[in-house]
A and B are shown apart, each in its own frame.
Chain A
Amino acid sequence: MAVVYRRSKGLTDAQTHYCPGCTHGVAHKLVAEAMEELDIIGTTVGIAPVGCSVFAYDYFACDMQEAAHGRAPAVATGIKRAHPDLAVFTYQGDGDLAAIGTAEIVHAAMRGEKITTIFINNAIYGMTGGQMAPTTLVGQTATTAPLGRQQEHYGSPIRMAELLSTLDGCVYAERVTLTDVPNILKAKKAIKKAFELQLSGAGFTFVEILSTCPTNWGLTPLDAIGWLKEHMIPYFPLGVYADRMEERRHDA
């Protein structure tokens, strides 16, 4: 019998704890498939964050470390510097990466740390129950912003792909989303490219994935996708923000 679909070997058999309609599952699958296709499951170490994906160490079949909140890029740096032959990735949410861990991600990118960061941007704190994130949109409500994010109080949301792309060490930064099949395929391509560039020793690679949080947004999964398209993509445009290897090819 022909196998048309199977679970990636990059994932364990554990059942995830994610809410119905949450896009973490799809993002996990894409990272797992990229590792499997590149045949690096046995030579990869992933770093789980603090946030909804805190249990990612149970879901990925490669070796995993759990980091303190925001410190995944520092933990990844320690592993990669000790084992340059391993592939190392961090998987982080917006609170982890863009608030408490801003220094760690910026400096890992600045150093051109040969790691891959998968950044899940869903504009909200999920695990702690819907508090405001640095990526929460102006006017978007959160449990700590009951009237919606006030621009004069909190400023405008941070655009990490754009910010990191200004650093020379960041050789690749792309923002993708998981709203439909074409976008999921694009996201997969971006993740795989990021790992390939890491393996080639190019530098720091970054894939930001616009994701939904139906539970904390208070929307059905389908409406959440609609909200993401309508509100998030205009503020966080999809696309490639840095591709220095491509630039170098052009320059050559």
Chain B
Amino acid sequence: MAKELWKGNEAVAEAAIRAGCRFFFGYPITPQNEIPEYFSRHLPEHGGCFLQAESEIAAINMTYGAAGSGVRVMTSSSSPGISLKQEGITYIAGAELPVVIVNMMRGGPGLGNIAPSQSDYFQATRGGGNGDYRTVVLAPSTIQEAADLTQEAFDIADVYRIPVLVLADGLIGQMMEAIEWRSPKPRSLPPKDWATDGSRGKRGHNVVNSLYIETEDCTALNRKLQQKHELITKNEIRYEEFMTRDAEVLFVSYGTTARVAHAAVLKLRKDGVKAGLFRPITLWPFPEAALRACAQQTNVKAVVTAEMSMGQMLDDVKIAVNGAKPVRFVGTGGGTIPTPAELMDEAQKAIEEVWNHGRRIPALQRAN
């Protein structure tokens, strides 16, 4: 199939439609406006419905209602809007509804700015709303991956009855790259026999609910969710390794920053520094065991976490590496994208720190 040039936001919306999503509820916020705009143009052609809600809160609750009635549905926003959606997301998790949510992250905290950022990592991977729950978090680093993962997100949501978050940033939302449309590996999807789509006298009444007033019932729900989380951790972890087999300095990075880290690895290799990249694709479940194994290789001397935040995924990297190797951090907050040179600097510091008075690495060529 021929490659086509797609803008990230539009590719995500088109991917959802290709995955059978026919309903979208959202509220405008930069830098993700092309998503609702695309749905507003194209969902009617597919017999679906696009609705611009009065708020993010209303949008996520419309999404809850539609998902509870058994249809594939999506909402999207950017950081401050995703904060508003947290109420609905915890209800969706509690009621075990399949929903896909896209966050094209921007700088924060507060109103922040509209530049690309990765500072919602904690919110995305730790919950964000109240209660013990997780959302599956998929972090694409190219438009191709954004299109692929968005399609697959609907299957994951349906299989496990869980909210799935596609976590990207303004750069991926706004950028255009060439992609190829392809379908995810078919999965066997469970029937939605729990949906409130009208009993029509053929069954008892279905109830979509997250209220469990008896403590033993609520405890049982929590156990059930935990078992589901364990199953997802067993089945759905994804990551990519680049030049890690002989790497002495190992970058850990996701999404947009992983592309910068990839460039830094290539430049470092040119300078004779053995660098590698471990890129988590699922941020929850985090590829903890795989990263540990990678970092524990004897060739790895130091780990450098690079993020567009002030150090959030860093916690997960430290948990995974578990003290086996020194873990350093390089990152930027507030919407600045780090340069390969900044990452290369940090790699040099990491190696110098490890060897202290040992071998010097060649002077690095600095961009800018």
Complex: A in contact with B (CB within 8 Å): yes
Given A75-B64, A82-B71, A103-B58, check contact A65 B53 (CB 8 Å).
no
Chain A contacts for B49, CB-based, 8 A = 81-82
Contact residue among B22, B196, B200 (Cβ-Cβ distance under 8 Å from A79): B196
Would you mind naming 6 contact pairs between A and B with Cβ atoms under 8 Å apart? A41-B199, A55-B211, A64-B196, A67-B64, A75-B62, A81-B66
Docked CA distance A103–B27 (Å):
14
Contact residue among A12, A54, A75, A81 (Cβ-Cβ distance under 8 Å from B61): A75
Contact residue among B58, B196, B197, B205 (Cβ-Cβ distance under 8 Å from A12): B205
A86 touches B198 (CB 8 A): yes
Q: How many A-B residue pairs have CB under 8 A?
A: 140
Most buried by A among B51, B58, B91, B199: B58
- State whether the Cβ of A45 lies closer than 8 Å to any Cβ in chain B: yes
A53-95: which have CB < 8 Å to B? 54-55, 57-58, 60-68, 71, 74-79, 81-83, 85-86
A42 touches B55 (CB 8 A): no
- State whether the Cβ of B57 lies closer than 8 Å to any Cβ in chain A: yes
How far, in Å, is A52 (CB) from chain B's closest CB? 13
B197 touches A86 (CB 8 A): yes
A79 touches B209 (CB 8 A): no
Residue-wise interface mask of B (62-103) relative to A, using a CB-CB cutoff of 8 A (1 in contact, 0 not): 111111111101000000000000011001000100000000
B186-230: which have CB < 8 Å to A? 196-202, 205-211
Chain A contacts for B202, CB-based, 8 A = 42
Docked CA distance A21–B59 (Å):
37
- State whether the Cβ of B240 lies closer than 8 Å to any Cβ in chain A: no
A66 touches B208 (CB 8 A): yes
B61 touches A79 (CB 8 A): no
Contact residue among B54, B62, B95, B201 (Cβ-Cβ distance under 8 Å from A78): B62
What is the total number of residues of chain B having a CB less than 8 Å from a CB of chain A? 41
B54 touches A107 (CB 8 A): yes
Known: A74-B64, A82-B71, A107-B58. 5 other contacts (CB 8 A): A64-B208, A71-B64, A74-B53, A81-B49, A83-B198
B58 touches A104 (CB 8 A): yes
Chain B contacts for A81, CB-based, 8 A = 23, 49, 51, 62, 66
A-side residues, CB < 8 A to B, are 12, 41-45, 47, 54-55, 57-58, 60-68, 71, 74-79, 81-83, 85-86, 103-104, 106-107
Most buried by A among B57, B198, B206: B198
B197 touches A63 (CB 8 A): yes
Most buried by A among B51, B57, B199, B205: B205
B65 touches A74 (CB 8 A): yes
- State whether the Cβ of B154 lies closer than 8 Å to any Cβ in chain A: no
- State whether the Cβ of B25 lies closer than 8 Å to any Cβ in chain A: yes
A78 touches B66 (CB 8 A): yes
Chain A contacts for B69, CB-based, 8 A = 45, 65, 78-79, 82-83, 86
B205 touches A66 (CB 8 A): no
Contact residue among A63, A68, A83, A104 (Cβ-Cβ distance under 8 Å from B207): A63
Chain A contacts for B200, CB-based, 8 A = 42-43
Docked CA distance A65–B91 (Å):
11
B57 touches A71 (CB 8 A): yes
Docked CA distance A63–B208 (Å):
8
Most buried by B among A63, A78, A103: A78
Residue-wise interface mask of B (43-61) relative to A, using a CB-CB cutoff of 8 A (1 in contact, 0 not): 0000001010111011101
A77 touches B65 (CB 8 A): yes
Docked CA distance A71–B95 (Å):
15
How far, in Å, is A129 (CB) from chain B's closest CB? 16
Docked CA distance A107–B27 (Å):
13
Chain B contacts for A103, CB-based, 8 A = 54-55, 57-58
Nearest residue, chain A, Cβ from B75: A78
Chain A contacts for B196, CB-based, 8 A = 45, 63-65, 79
Nearest residue, chain B, Cβ from A74: B61
Docked CA distance A82–B205 (Å):
18
Most buried by B among A43, A45, A65, A104: A65
Nearest residue, chain B, Cβ from A17: B213
Most buried by B among A42, A64, A66, A79: A79
Nearest residue, chain A, Cβ from B59: A74
Chain A contacts for B197, CB-based, 8 A = 45, 63, 83, 86
Shortest 5 CB-CB contacts between residues of A and residues of B: A78-B65, A74-B61, A75-B65, A63-B196, A78-B66
